[in-house]
Amino acid sequence: MSDSYKRDIKAALNDSFLRRTLDKFAVEYRAGRDRVFSEVDERGLIRRIADVKDAAAQHTEELYARFKEEAERRGAVVHRAKNAAEAREIIAAIAKENGVKSVVKSKSMTAEEIGLNAYLGAEGVEVNETDLGEWIVQLRRERPSHMVMPAIHLSRGQVADEFEKATGREQDHENVDKLVKTARAELRPKFHAADMGISGANFLIAETGAITIVTNEGNGRLVNTLPRIHVALAGLDKLVPTLDDALTALQVLPRNATGQRITSYVTFIDGATACAKSPSGRKILHIVLLDNGRTAIAKDPLFSQIYRCVRCGACANVCPVFRLVGGHRMGHVYVGAIGLVLTYLYHDRDAAKKLCQNCVGCGACKDVCSGGIDLPRLIQEIRARFAKEDGEPMMSRLARYAMRNRTVFHRLLKFMRFAQKPFSGRDGFVRHLPMALFGKHGFRTLPALAPKAFRELWPSLRRNVENPRFRIALFAGCAQDFALPHQLVAAMKVFRYFGVEVDFPMGQTCCGLPLVALGEKDAALDVARQNITAFAGKYDAIVTLCASCASHLRHGYPKAVGAEAEEFSARVMDFSSFVHDKLDVTEKDFARLGWKVAYHASCHLCRELGVKDAPRALISAAAHYTPTPEEETCCGFGGSWSVKFPEISAELMRKKLDNVCSADATHLALDCPGCTIQLRGGADQGKRAIKVVHVAEVLAAALESGEKDDNEQ
Amino acid sequence: MIEQFTARAEAASAKVHAVADEAAAVHLVDSLRAEKTAAGLEVGVVRAAKGIAQTGTCIVVTDDEDVRLKTMLPEVSVILLDAADILPDLPSAAPFLRAEQTKGSPSYISFITGPSRTADIERVSAIGVHGPLEFHIMLIGGRP
């Protein structure tokens, strides 16, 4: 990681305007999006977009041929550019042929991708951006910091300063409406004077050769109407077979981009319509389709899904890291999660290497993606490829060696228990590790390894249950087994109370998720097989208190191991779902605690596993559930991720704890030991009056207080 | 559908005027034009081919540049829409679009929903950027 990039991140974290804007946007965007999606079948539409675009990726040549034939039949000229340089040359040649001196341009990310403005400028053609945000960043000689809101990083005051320089007239530094009117007045003459308009396109419809342009400001329609020449530039991935496909995607794109049901303008142009300014009486219409690596990607079994991207920008809108650092540190040309992937695939692998380390793997982007792209998985794969190219770092090598062999791994953990002794306090936190080891991790205290691992406590905890309602196997996961066994002990109380017989297969080992994160695929496969063997017994369910383990055991194993994992994975359940769905626990089962319990929805639970109601229902049954803002936003733990970007991790954690504390909660409950380490450590370090507990601990406490009440009676 | 169209169009900052018939629409357009012109604003009037209830959208055939510019350049945009031409949602517009795009001459179809807008400065919603600042729909036969 370069120091300059880290400095850049730090500067962004200190930019309070950017932070306030993006924070406000993150909350408002969610609310607006939910409102407009409630009117349509969100999942069904996303599925259809994915299917259409997946098929389009496999039939690009046929779609291109049909599109070209139909568009040219209607008087357009269709070009195909192999790469950015070819696309630039094609467009420059059109300008030259027609004696073009000035161009008006509406928003096109593809033009950014090929560096069009600079190239035309060097050819002596004046290019004026006309989208308000694009015009502002053009005046500032910056690049867009968001695909839909290019100037979201700037304040109205900064915009006013820029407009004063551009117009030579004093500007209102407070009134946004007046600034918008300045842009209108300033750009109108440029539309009239321009010889050529350049636009992007959102869809290229093969059946009729039509292009679709989705806009709000109205500049796009002026760009393709007032000048005599219109050049539309788009990637080959924008091809769809039919009008129906475009109309399907049009129900998602504006909803996801800006929370609108539809934008102010959606324009369908098929062919060269009549044009008074053109010598021939017809518009001079050129459509340039850019490959630039797209057709090669279409053949990649994993990465071909990026064809599903409709450039809505939603993956940036919900990204907790984008929100902290802004688009200039979260993308190269394209921004957000898709920006990380496209930067790697198309543009700049060096830039991608830095950017990919930004992803916390929370899955928020995948959850809202218009095409259902598995963005976290793609980013994970890119990291793995970089890891392979670079040779493995020591941490990876060590992890692979130790974790492949369960006995060595567990012996290592036990050794660390002795090694940490001089540093750990009585309350189970490591406080006094030399700062050299901590680096910038002082924002949270780390849990000490427990004196006895759960696997060592097991012989004293195991009970035979007569006529058990269920017979389950407990999967501990490393963090709970060795650092937080009290969470499992609490769960044992709950299981016993509700007549569940529990087995703890000793052959179990790490689920393998940390190995996947390090790009160690083979070692991950090894530990998966060990676990499948260890849990071969007849169990009604395999229950784990760790949301990350649960998600990996359930979804990761079948993908990595294949059919032999299916029987195992189908039985895996997270603790809250098992207790809520299988044991039918209600508030009658508990003596309700006086605790005010806030809830943190772990990424792996609420998104990867889609478990949302069960833990909240359990908390409500056993205590007083206290809703807090943004329960489903990542806490910043992200496994090994927080080690690479401690500053960002600390900010995410602080925000989460601020939300909880402002609601006056006494406890914060969750379903994941990783989140526990992050938030419990943060609460301890920040001396916050809040206890961070597993949902199992809330239930166990409510059962215990109930038992006491019974005794008193 | 008329009610949904009206509600959704107004949610997108359009002003919907329900009028009984063509004559009433023309009368209202004339008085609106007089009022706006007196205020120094230009008014562009066009006719929509279809409407979309779910989004509050007017579909205007704008193959003709002059018609197109009437929806773009003036500060005030007025669109006449027959309530009987309202379609339920976006997918139901496919047959109309297909017919237009296969009619034998190139077409330019505009889906217009409210005035032009932006949120590019600090995400503050502002009406009237490069297109109309005001957007009126004369909904003929649109009295619920």
Q: How confident is the model at residue A708 (pLDDT cuts 50, 70, 90)?
A: very low
State the average pLDDT over residues A365-379.
Answer: 93
Examine residue A240 and state whether it is found in any structural domain, yes or no: yes
State the average pLDDT over residues B115-134.
Answer: 90
pLDDT tens digits for range A628-638 = 999 999 998 87
DSSP state for residue A35 in the 8-state scheme? H
Last residue of a domain, one of A537, A572, A607: A572
Q: How confident is the model at residue A194 (pLDDT cuts 50, 70, 90)?
A: very high
**Which among B91, B114, B123 has CB closest to A21?**
B123
CA distance A172 to chain B (A): 13
Examine residue A373 and state whether it is found in any structural domain, yes or no: no
pLDDT tens digits for range A575-597 = 999 999 999 888 888 989 999 99
- Window from A152-156, A344-348, A700-704, B73-77 with minimum mean pLDDT: A344-348
The C-alpha atoms of residue A519 and residue A487 are separated, in whole angstroms, by: 29
**Predicted pLDDT at A144:** 83
Q: Where are the beta strands (DSSP E) in chain B?
A: 15-19, 43-47, 50-52, 57-61, 76-82, 86-87, 107-112, 117-118, 126-127, 134-140
pLDDT tens digits for range A555-571 = 999 988 889 899 999 99
pLDDT tens digits for range A215-244 = 999 999 999 999 999 999 999 999 999 999
A600 and A530 within one domain: no
Helices (H), A146-206: 156-167, 176-193
A263 and A153 within one domain: yes
**Predicted pLDDT at A435:** 40
**Residue A355 pLDDT more than 50?**
yes
**Beta carbons of A268 and B68 less than 8 Å apart:** no
Of all residues in chain A, what percent carry a pLDDT higher than 70? 90
| Contacts of residue A634, Cβ cutoff 8 Å, sequence gap at least 6 | A320, A360, A362, A364, A603, A652
A167 and A48 within one domain: yes
**Residue A446 pLDDT more than 70?**
no
A476 and A568 within one domain: yes
**Beta carbons of A261 and B118 less than 8 Å apart:** no
Helix axes A406-419, A394-404, angle to 10 degrees: 120
CA distance A152 to chain B (A): 6
**Predicted pLDDT at A441:** 57
Q: Decide if A701 contacts A593 (C-beta within 8 A).
A: yes
What are the tokens at A37? 């999606």
**Predicted pLDDT at A430:** 56
Residue span of the structural domain in which A233 resides? 8-32+42-296
State the average pLDDT over residues B2-23.
Answer: 96
Task: Say how many CB pairs under 8 Å bridge A and B.
Answer: 171
Residue closest to A680 by CA, chosen among A501, A478, A544, A484 = A484
Looking at the structure of chain A, the number of domains it has is 3
DSSP state for residue A580 in the 8-state scheme? I
Chain A, window 538-567: residues with a beta carbon less than 8 angstroms from a chain B beta carbon: none
Place of tokens 């299988």: A582
Q: How far is CA A96 from CA A115, A196, A556, B94, in A?
A: 18, 11, 55, 38
Q: Decide if A355 contacts A330 (C-beta within 8 A).
A: yes
**Residue A92 pLDDT more than 50?**
yes
Examine residue A129 and state whether it is found in any structural domain, yes or no: yes
**Beta carbons of B101 and A150 less than 8 Å apart:** no
**Which among B69, B97, B128 has CB closest to A243?**
B97
Please report residues of B whose CB lies closer than 8 A to that of A181: 128
**Predicted pLDDT at A26:** 83
Please report residues of B whose CB lies closer than 8 A to that of A25: 123
Q: How confident is the model at residue A647 (pLDDT cuts 50, 70, 90)?
A: confident
The ipTM value here is: 0.97
| Residue A467 backbone phi and psi in degrees, to 5 | 40, 60
Q: How confident is the model at residue B27 (pLDDT cuts 50, 70, 90)?
A: very high
**Beta carbons of B120 and A184 less than 8 Å apart:** no
| Residue A711 backbone phi and psi in degrees, to 5 | -65, -35
Examine residue A157 and state whether it is found in any structural domain, yes or no: yes
DSSP state for residue A331 in the 8-state scheme? B
**Predicted pLDDT at A328:** 73
Element (H, E) at A198: strand A196-199
Examine residue A317 and state whether it is found in any structural domain, yes or no: no
**Residue A644 pLDDT more than 80?**
no
Please report residues of B whose CB lies closer than 8 A to that of A262: 12, 52, 55, 57, 90, 111, 113
State the average pLDDT over residues A669-689.
Answer: 90
Strands A572-574 and A596-599: unpaired
A265 and A193 within one domain: yes
Residues B109-138 as b/e (b if ≥16 CB within 10 A, e otherwise) read bbbbbbbbbbbbbbbeebbbbbbbbbbbbb
**Beta carbons of B91 and A272 less than 8 Å apart:** no
Average pLDDT of chain A is 88
Please report residues of A whose CB lies closer than 8 A to that of B126: 176-177, 180
A522 and A621 within one domain: no
How many residues make up chain B in this entry?
Answer: 144
State whether residue A222 sits within 8 Å of chain B by CB. Answer: yes
What's the CATH code of the domain at A708?
3.40.50
CA distance B58 to chain A (A): 10
**Residue A396 pLDDT more than 90?**
no
pLDDT tens digits for range A487-501 = 999 999 999 999 999
**Predicted pLDDT at A392:** 60
CA distance B39 to chain A (A): 17
Q: How confident is the model at residue A711 (pLDDT cuts 50, 70, 90)?
A: very low
The C-alpha atoms of residue A678 and residue A63 are separated, in whole angstroms, by: 50
| Contacts of residue A519, Cβ cutoff 8 Å, sequence gap at least 6 | A383, A384, A385, A386, A387, A388, A392, A396
**Beta carbons of A180 and B128 less than 8 Å apart:** yes
A603 and A482 within one domain: no
Of all residues in chain B, what percent carry a pLDDT higher than 70? 99
Residues A250-287 as b/e (b if ≥16 CB within 10 A, e otherwise) read bbbbbbbbbbbbbbbbbbbbbbbbbbeebeeeebbbbb
A174 and A140 within one domain: yes
**Beta carbons of B129 and A180 less than 8 Å apart:** yes
**Beta carbons of B121 and A176 less than 8 Å apart:** yes
Helices (H), A281-393: 294-298, 314-317, 320-325, 337-342, 349-356, 364-368, 375-390
CA distance A158 to chain B (A): 10
pLDDT tens digits for range A477-536 = 888 988 899 999 999 999 999 999 999 999 998 898 888 877 778 888 889 999 999 999
How many residues make up chain A in this entry?
Answer: 713
Last residue of a domain, one of A256, A276, A296: A296
Element (H, E) at A668: strand A667-670
Last residue of a domain, one of A252, A275, A296: A296
**Residue A58 pLDDT more than 90?**
yes
Domain boundaries, chain B: 2-140
Residue closest to A15 by CA, chosen among A711, A698, A651, A672 = A651
A283 and A195 within one domain: yes
The C-alpha atoms of residue A331 and residue A340 are separated, in whole angstroms, by: 6
State the average pLDDT over residues A348-376.
Answer: 86
A110 and A77 within one domain: yes
Examine residue A665 and state whether it is found in any structural domain, yes or no: yes
- Window from A394-398, A686-690, B53-57 with minimum mean pLDDT: A394-398
Q: What's the CATH architecture for B2-140?
A: 3-Layer(aba) Sandwich (3.40)
Q: How far is CA A528 from CA A222, A383, A502, A524, A627, in A?
A: 59, 21, 21, 6, 37
